Structure 1
Amino acid sequence: MSEPTKQAHSFQHITDLAQFPEELRGSVVAIGNFDGVHRGHRTVLDYARQEAEKLGVPALAMTFEPHPRTVFRPDHPVFRLTPSHIKAEILKAEHLDGVIELPFTKEFASMEAEDFVKDILVDKLAIVQSITGYDFHFGKGRKGTPDFLREAGETLGFAVTIVGAEGDEGGTIISSSRIREALAEGDIPLTNGLLGYRYFVEARVQHGEKRGRELGYPTANLKLAENCELKLGIYSVQIKIDGVMHDGVASFGRRPTFDDGAPLLEVHVFDFKGDLYEKLVSVSFIGYIRSEQKFDGIDALIAQMDKDSEEARAMIASMRPLSGLDMVLNADT
């Protein structure tokens, strides 16, 4: 798999086909959900980029928002590895020319597969080639199989490439579901290995109870999605503040020693002084240190936090980049 090394290119995030830029017609388009933009997804994206370079045309990704499973089961929304804006950030780092984000509704899901191909891929986008994974289906009743798409391409004049499953070093297929399961187990090495970059979240720092400051461990408090399935516990992390990466230790939990409240990500930034309130920051996860626990007193809590900080520093010191993409996403900007 080729690796991106820079981000200095134009990138367009398109959410309305009525505003589709004329200069992007005739592109190679990779189609899929791409939640996580993991190593398997990036094999599809690499094909699209390489084919586009051969043809001298733009390379685009087409995704769907919200996640289709959330539309069909709104009472059980999918835990998103990469919300829309983060997905676009990664696709930009992958050196695509843009992403087309189609609104996914029940009405859209009921569109006949033939209409999706003719009305969108051909008439609106005038694609020259589509690249999809082996398990991509579309249209009413999931009629749009890989074979259906290949036959439609032959009829309507665009090439079709179907990319097979991508396995990890042990041969197990890489999937978004598998990554979600790894996060729920606190298995950060597996998560990051399957993604090919360090898993990260973005949120705005909010005001808290300021207990950390009183304990000598001031924290940046971040509220993650309500359906976030990340395992509760203590993590070694890096946090990007105003474009600069800083080392830290974080707790994702309910604070059982104090209030046992709603889950909150609390990041203590090593050797940092400054006001972080209302800043939009990103937090990259490096390792899982321990589970959350309740302490009998403040002294015992502080002693454990000291140990956690030492372990977090050691994990960060031994960290190595996972890929060129990992280097791009975690570079100072």
Structure 2
Amino acid sequence: MQVWWGAAEVPADLGPTAATLGVFDGVHRGHQVVLAATVNEAETASLTSVAITFDPHPATVHRPESDFTLIASLTDRLERLEASGLDAVLVLPYSLDFAQAGPEQFVREHLVDLLHARTVIVGEDVRFGKDNAGDKDTMAELGRHLGFAVEIIEDIADPETGRRWSSTWVRELLSAGDVAGAARVLGRPHRVRGVVVHGAHRGRALGYPTANLRADDLGVVPADGIYAGWLIRPDHLPDDGTSKRLPAAVSVGTNPTFQGLERTVEAYVLGRTDLDLYDEEVVVELLRRLRGQVTFDGVPALLDQMAQDVATVAQVLDVPAPARPAVPVQP
């Protein structure tokens, strides 16, 4: 999949396209229906399939004082868009100046003049142009006026709950720690991505060395607690025999037993004490929440619970449970 970082990178000889647009935060199952329709239309009509997305998220530009956080990083978003089968993605830098373009100006400049769209595929909740004045009816009218077909994809509800798939719902589920529910809406497990940093090294002293990711720049981090998941090393790293997908017990929180203040994501790879992941970017995929964060009355009680958590994680992931570490030197 080609990625064009701004309008200037779109090839001058680009042929006709089937195009869609949106932030696609999380690329959840609702997004996936729109993307699949875009790819299918392109294949049927011998067009190039293209999605327009925006960075940063418009909400952070219009409401910089808010605590809005993307579900996934732009890197993960592009990976998911590529997995949908798109030929190309155009990442448009979003700013207050960019947001002044009205619906027709935006469509004419980007969909018609730049991408030569023959067909535009959008969800029925699409909004675009200054003050989000453009909607599905606006797009249909502009298509008639400017000469492209428009396909509106109706919202599809979750069959279990009847609720519409949305990024808002994913955020609600993650805020409650329901990563399994979020996975149902996303169509895959939720993940966070970040660089492994040095922590207090308590985990190593306790016999459970962890890869620590600061939780201030990871995307949406779920509620504090203990999770079963996978630590995934990027594909571009050489295969050094340590594996790229490793079963992990993941702690999210502030380590209240040790009066911690900084919120972190810490992943203990089951049975591994030989990994050196410092300064490496890793992905942590979260499958199930085991329990909430607890303050323990001393290290022995903490160690007993950690051993139970590791055994439960192994069961959830269907991998062998490692032996409990020898009694460590307590920090």
TM-score, normalised via structure 2 length: 0.90
Q: 1:32 touches 1:133 (CA, 8 Å); kept in 2?
A: no
User: Aligned letter for 1:302?
Assistant: L
Aligned to 1:29: 19
- Counting matched residue pairs gives 308
Q: What are the residue-to-residue correspondences of 1:122-141 with 2, within 5 Å?
A: 122-141=112-131
Aligned with 2:203: secondary structure? helix
Indicate yes or no: 2:297 matched with 1:296.
yes
Q: Which moved more, 1:223-232 or 1:32-41?
A: 223-232
Which residue is 1:277 aligned to? 278
| Matching of residue 89 in structure 1 with residue 79 in structure 2 | yes
| SS of residue paired to 2:25 | coil
The higher radius of gyration belongs to: 2
Contact 1:180 1:229 in 2 (8 A): no
Q: Report the residue type matching 1:38 in the other structure.
A: H
Q: Distance in 1 between matches of 2:233 and 2:303?
A: 25
Aligned partner of 2:266 in structure 1 is 266
Deviation at 1:146, TM superposition (A): 0.9
8 Å CA contact retained: 1:79, 1:180: no
Structure scoring higher RCO (CA < 8 A, sep ≥ 6) equals 1
2:106 to 98, 109, 116: 116
Displacement over 6 Å in runs of 4+: none
SS in 2 for 1:257: helix
1:23 Cα offset (Å):
5.0
The answer to whether the 8 Å contact 2:215/2:221 transfers is no
Partner of 1:328: none
CA shift for structure 1 position 229:
4.8
Correspondence 1:202 to 2:193: yes
State whether structure 2 residue 237 is matched by structure 1 residue 236: no
For 1:270 and 1:23, the matched residues in 2 are separated by: 52
SS in 2 for 1:90: helix
Deviates more, 1:235-244 or 1:50-59: 235-244
Amino acid of the structure 1 residue aligned with 2:231: I
Partner of 1:214: 205
Which of 53, 56, 65 pairs up with 2:55? 65
User: Which residue of 1 is the match for residue 91 of structure 2?
Assistant: 101
1:306 paired with 2:296, answer: no
CA distance in 1, matches of 2:299, 2:221: 28
CA contact (8 A) 1:79 1:229 kept: no
Distance 1:24 1:221 in 2: 44
Does the CA contact (< 8 Å) of 1:205 and 1:279 recur in 2?
yes
What are the within-5 Å matches in structure 2 for residues 38-53 of structure 1? 38-53=28-43
5+ long unaligned stretches in structure 1: 1-10, 319-333
Distance in 2, matches of 1:265 and 1:19, equals: 37
How far, CA to CA, are the matches of 2:9 and 2:292 in structure 1?
Answer: 48
- Partner SS for 1:209: coil
8 Å Cα contact 2:192-2:221 kept in structure 1: no
Instruction: Tell me the alpha carbon deviations over residues 172-202 of structure 1, each in whole angstroms, 9 at most, x when there is no partner.
Output: 1111001000001011111000100111111
Relative to the length of structure 1, the TM-score reads 0.89
- For residue 271 of structure 1, report the CA deviation from its aligned partner: 2.6
**What runs of 5+ residues in structure 2 fail to find an aligned partner?**
236-243, 320-331
Partner of 2:252: 252
Shift of 1:157: 1.3
> What residue identity is the alignment partner of 2:249?
V
Considering only aligned residues, what root-mean-square deviation do their CA atoms show, in Å? 1.5
What is the rounded CA distance, in whole Å, between the counterparts of 1:128 and 1:31 in structure 2? 14
